[in-house]
Amino acid sequence: MLSIDLATLDAIVAHARRDHPDEACGIVAGPLGSDRPTRLVEMTNAERSSTFYRFDSMEQLRVWREMDDRDEGPVVIYHSHTATEAYPSRTDTSLASEPDAHYLLVSTRDPELTEIRSFRIVDGAVTEEPVRIVDATVDPNAVQSYLFGQTPATVDYECRSSS
């Protein structure tokens, strides 16, 4: 399960909406071993494409060193799909290289409704996981424009539970 606070999730969605129709990408760093995504880093999509993304290599080196210095890791690696569902493509699966990361996909294909789904991708095997909002005081209405869960027809209401 991915546990993430609403402010970070909102910022990811805002990034995806801002870069639409190009794919947006980035990470949320967190303390090593904590599995807590705490520090959002929006990355440049060096491809500037609506069907492909790749972190700029020099920016990636800088950000990865910064994480090393802070004893952090990439807890979440996110990117958007701008015309298709929020599910890892074959390209995503074959290129996934961080077995400890949550791969968060955001689909901006619908201008109103944002699909958000999270996956583990290890050795080419994709496993979906629930997304849980961890804020103590989440306004349920604030999450209503997001669609979580296994299929586009299913909303994971667990996401709304207070913690």
- The three-state secondary structure class of 18 is helix
58, 113, 157, 158: residue in contact with other proteins (rule CB under 8 A): 58
Stretch that binds other proteins, among 5-13, 75-83, 130-138, 144-152 (CB under 8 A): 75-83
Q: Tally Cβ neighbours within 10 Å of residue 68.
A: 11
Q: Is 49 among the residues that bind other proteins (CB under 8 A)?
A: yes
Cβ–Cβ under 8 Å, residues 23 and 42: no
Does residue 111 touch other proteins according to CB under 8 A?
Answer: no
**Integer angstrom CA distances of residue 18 from 5, 10, 82:** 20, 12, 11
How large is the C-alpha radius of gyration of the chain? 15
For the CB of residue 45, give the shortest distance to other proteins in the complex, in Å: 9
Is residue 60 near other proteins by the rule CB under 8 A? yes
Q: How far apart are CA 39 and CA 133, in angstroms?
A: 16
9-48 residues in contact with other proteins (CB under 8 A) are 23, 25, 27, 43, 47
36/104 Cα distance (integer angstroms): 14
- The minimum distance between CB 55 and other proteins, in angstroms, equals 4
Task: Work out how close the CB of 60 gets to other proteins at its nearest, in angstroms, rounded to a whole number.
Answer: 6
**CA-CA distance, 84 to 55, in Å (whole number)?**
20
Gap between the Cα atoms of 110 and 83, Å rounded: 8
- Toward other proteins, which CB reaches closer, 2 or 92? 92
Shortest CB 64 distance to other proteins, Å: 6
Interface positions with other proteins (CB under 8 A): 23, 25, 27, 43, 47, 49-55, 57-58, 60-61, 64, 77, 79, 81-84, 88-92, 94-100
